Structure formats: structure tokens, C-alpha cells
Structure 1
């Protein structure tokens, strides 16, 4: 379908016409976005948002360019917005982790020891498998692959159990984020 036909469909403004536009442009738009993102799910999210914007603005758009060009430029702009937002979040998390590490170095041994005791107590309350895998990872320094080999389980199982453990611990320390950050910041705790 050519650009003129796509523009005419958008001018009609009905759902059937929009579905035709969607059917023609969706897969090529995903392919275009895959050059910018690592995951197909991210490309699909951006594409969905692009078509939502197109649908919301269909009545007010004065298209001097083709629907295809508008769709691609909107998708690219959404990608840039998401990238900036994610970059800002990552910068914030990196800064928070850095501050936590500095605080760990600067805080007294007694305070650190107290935090580690609280962490140990919380870890002891985890389900047995989660606790074992977390201890192997954080206390003994084993990689996911090494844990999987030693316990004869898949690395996906190790990752799932660690995710469960960290989720529980984050919930346990929701009122004390400094302790949770200590847990995730230190390579090994004794």
C-alpha cells in the first residue's frame, strides 16, 4: 500500500481504516525499532504507543508528510524519550549505590555489624532454597552458573530463587532502605 493510500485511510478516521494502517505498518515499524532496542518487547511497546498516539491525533493531524513517515518519526521520538528516562533512572541508581558504598566505608564498624546482623536475621527467615542460593551467591561469592552446577539445577532456577529472595528482603527492609542497599552493595557479607 502506498503513502497516498495510507493517508486517505487515516483521513477516513474509522476503526477499519485504522486497522488497515496498523496491519501495513506494524511489522515494518517493529523491524525499524529493533535497530535501537535490544528486546522485541521494547520495540512492541514503543510501536503500540506510536499507534495509540496516531489514533488519538487522527482527527487533528495535518499530514504534510506520509502516515508512514509520521509513524516512524513518532516511534523514534518515543524511543528517545524512553532512553532518556531509563538513563536518568540508571544514573540515579548508580549514584544511590555509590553513596551507599561511601556510607559503608565511612560508617562505624559497630553500625555495619548491626546492619549485617539484621541482614542475617532476615536471610534466615527466607525459604530454605532461596536462603541457600542467596548465601552461596552473596556470602560465598559463587556465580549463578557455579550455583546451578553445584545444586544441579538450571541457571534460570538460580535467578528465579534470587529474585524471590531479593523481593522478600526488599519488602522486609522497606522501612530501612539503607540496610537493603547494604545487602545489595556489598560483594560478600561475613
Structure 2
């Protein structure tokens, strides 16, 4: 049985200030389980949690003569552990290198660039489609956006298949020319869109 188990926190801190190792041990064993649980919550690693708590108790021993017995020692301990954890996490972030990042969290810059470029292309094309003559616009939208074949469009609009194909050709030629003229970034994606 621990000899100072019945002493209150204030008495233990007063004794600790005078260098009483038994008072230190009592405070250590009294708060160790909760502090370890607290640290483990942040780190999810028992060894790291234990090391963090040990560092705090070493610091407390080193500054024992400056401790305020009227201050809530338990709160002081938890705040010290929290600050130590934050410092540890901050230092880990500073030491993090690109090689430490798991592949699954890496974003391909090519993929992001493609998505942005494709979205810009899509917006520009949508705006250009509005400038097509009404018949070409209708045929082009039915074919390229709604996915209807020239035969289906011809039936739907009461036009010949040849006329529908001609409208698609003229609209596509106009849009490709305008898009290529507006920017060279869209070049590779034009093949995907048309």
C-alpha cells in the first residue's frame, strides 16, 4: 500500500515542493492512468502516450520548488500533457516529408489539371453552342449531348439523314475552330469532346 494515499493533493504538492520523493510517487500513481488515457486518445500509440506523460513528470520534478500548492494540480497536469501533445504533433508535422505521405492520399496533378481544363472546355463549348444557327444548334445538341444517331434526329426533326449529318459537320467544324482559336490548352481534350 502507498504510504501517502490518504493525503490530499494540496498536502502532496507542499511535500513535493520540499523534495519529498514519496509525495511525488503518490501524485504519479494517482494520476498516471488518467493521463495515459488522455495522451493515448490523441496519439493512438501506447508507447508515445507513455513517453509524453513521463516527460511531464520529469519536468514536474525539475520545477517542483516552483509549484503552487493552491493551484489545482490535476488541471495543471492535464494542461501540461495537452501542451506536450500539441508540441509533439506540431513537430511531427514539421518533420513530415513527401515520402511519408501514403500514396492513397496523393492527388494526381494531371488528373486535377485535366478536370479543370475539361470543365473550362465544357463551359466554353456550351457558350459557343448558343451562337450556332438554330437548326445546327438543335441537331448538334441532339447528337453530341443527348446521344441520338443521325437517323433518329432525322426522324424526330423531319429532315433527311444527309441534312442532319451536314449540320453536325458544320457545327463540329465551327466549334473546333473556335475552341482551338480561344486556347491551345484544350487541344488534347478536343478529341475527347468531339
TM range (shorter): 0.3 to 0.5
Structure number with the bigger relative contact order (C-alpha 8 A, sep ≥ 6) is 1
TM-score between the two structures when normalised by the length of structure 2: 0.44
TM-score between the two structures when normalised by the length of structure 1: 0.45
Larger radius of gyration: 2
